[in-house]
């Protein structure tokens, strides 16, 4: 921009330039009605949990197996626990002698090894497992120990 005449600023002109910087221009704007932002969608994990809760109680099934199914006195056996509908938590295993053990579930599975007492009598035994409100049992058979080869009681009985 070129001026052919000398440019002078008068006091009134300076006031007009300063007006936007005055206190009235710096005052906070009047409050505007707020528009509520739409709620952020829930993370998928929480939404899925709500969907399952709305769909009714989650179905949990419990199954128990003993391996091997025939165990000699003094030998160990495995109790395998499978839970569908629950991947973690704890299970309570109660052996035939009445002693209870807590086992942690991992991926809906757990295994507990137990030992048949050496003085146990032969016969059928049960193992009970509880997870949450569910209970399951598995049976196995205790068999007498093999006679030792150096046991001379056999020879005495034959005499």
pLDDT of residue 10: 58
In sequence order, the β-bridge partners of residue 94 are: 100, 128
Predicted confidence band at 68 (pLDDT cuts at 50, 70, 90)? very high
123: left (phi over 0), alpha (psi -120 to 50) or beta: left
Q: Please say if the pLDDT value at position 89 is more than 90.
A: yes
pLDDT of residue 59: 84
Q: Please say if the pLDDT value at position 149 is more than 60.
A: yes
Residue-averaged pLDDT of the chain: 78
CA trace torsion 11, 16, 19, 21 (10° rounding): -80
Counting residues of the chain whose pLDDT is more than 70, the rounded percentage is 57
* pTM for this prediction: 0.58
Residue 108 backbone phi and psi in degrees, to 5: 80, 10
């Amino acid at each position: 921009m070129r001026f052919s005449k000398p440019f002078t600023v008068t006091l009134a002109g300076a006031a007009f330039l300063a007006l936007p910087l005055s206190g009235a221009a710096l005052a906070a704007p009047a409050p505007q009605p707020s528009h509520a932002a739409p709620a952020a969608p829930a993370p998928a994990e929480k939404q899925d949990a709500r969907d399952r809760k709305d769909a009714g109680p989650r179905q949990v099934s419990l199954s128990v197996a003993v391996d091997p199914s025939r165990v000699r006195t003094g030998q160990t056996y495995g109790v395998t626990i499978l839970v569908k509908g629950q991947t973690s938590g704890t299970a309570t295993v109660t052996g035939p002698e009445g002693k209870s053990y807590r086992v942690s579930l991992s991926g809906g599975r757990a295994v507990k090894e137990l030992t048949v007492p050496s003085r146990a009598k032969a016969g059928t035994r049960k193992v009970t497992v509880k997870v949450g409100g569910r209970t399951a049992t598995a049976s196995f058979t205790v068999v007498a120990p093999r006679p030792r080869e150096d046991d001379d009681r056999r020879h005495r009985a034959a005499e």
